[in-house]
Amino acid sequence: MELGLRNRSVLITGGSKGIGLACARAFLDEGARVAIVSRDLRNLDRAATQLGKVVLIAADLTKADEAKRMVREAETALGAIDVLVNSAGAAKRYPPDELKAQSWHDAMDAKYFTYIHAMDAVLPSMRTRKHGNVVNIIGMGGKVASSIHLPGGAANSALMLASVGLASVYGKFGVRINAINPGATITDRIREALELEAKAKGSTVEQVLEQGQARVPLGRYADPKEIAGVTLFLASDQAAYVTGAVIPMDGGVNPVI
């Protein structure tokens, strides 16, 4: 299937690790021009050794002005942004008895506003050009509450609403906005969750992983490459009539509409 992504300018937040890194590699394989973003320059340098020719941008997307600078740097290097993939930010997980008011504020800053600031920075240009795609990677915790991920889940839920709402607003300007809900995916992020769950259960990480995968109808957790594959499809011409979609990728764990 020809995706039509060659020479497209792609900006990926959170592109130095996990799903974002897998997306960067996949877009590069399709011949796209790619910039990846992280707060940590060391993570960017490590990613560059794996990816090769890629633009590196260090930015703290909890700040709106940093997001605008990020887009200016990306456009200077790549030209007008055709595709924004948001995969940045990770809200800290807390046992319920450790939740405080600041926990909820921190989660919104880490997950919700990083995506909102990035979209705010690219959407005006996309609207003017009447062309552009946004794919938001939003955890399944926004649909299914987890006792150790309540602030982050709330931020994810808000992001889903923002994604479909903005898709409705920007569709008439030729801009498509979609979201993916990955379930458990084998990244550093899932390892952190496994360690917390193992501690709470008095078990081992290996046991918790085995039990978790046994609950997945497809029998395993996702590989980041699989999330990247759907991201590429949504950003491509093959998905030209898809906008405002929130696509679950949890291996069938949550049989909900």
Does the CA dihedral 154-157-161-164 come out positive or negative?
positive
Residue 89 has pLDDT above 80, yes or no: no
User: What is the percent of the chain where pLDDT is above 70?
Assistant: 100
Structural domain count, the chain:
1
Q: What integer pLDDT is reported at residue 120 of this predicted model?
A: 98
* Type of residue at 151: P
pLDDT digits (tens, 9 = 90+) for 3-44: 999 999 999 999 999 999 999 999 999 999 999 999 999 999
| First-last CA distance in the chain | 28
For the whole model, what pTM was predicted?
Answer: 0.92
Q: Which residues on adjacent β-strands are paired with residue 135?
A: 85, 178
CATH classification of the domain holding 186: 3.40.50.720
DSSP state at residue 82: S
pLDDT digits (tens, 9 = 90+) for 183-221: 889 887 778 778 877 887 888 988 888 888 999 999 999
Distance CA 233, CA 194 (A): 30
Q: Which of 190, 249, 248 shows the shortest CA–CA distance to 257?
A: 248
The answer to whether residue 225 sits within a structural domain is: yes
Q: What residues make up the domain containing 111?
A: 9-249
The answer to whether residue 255 sits within a structural domain is: no
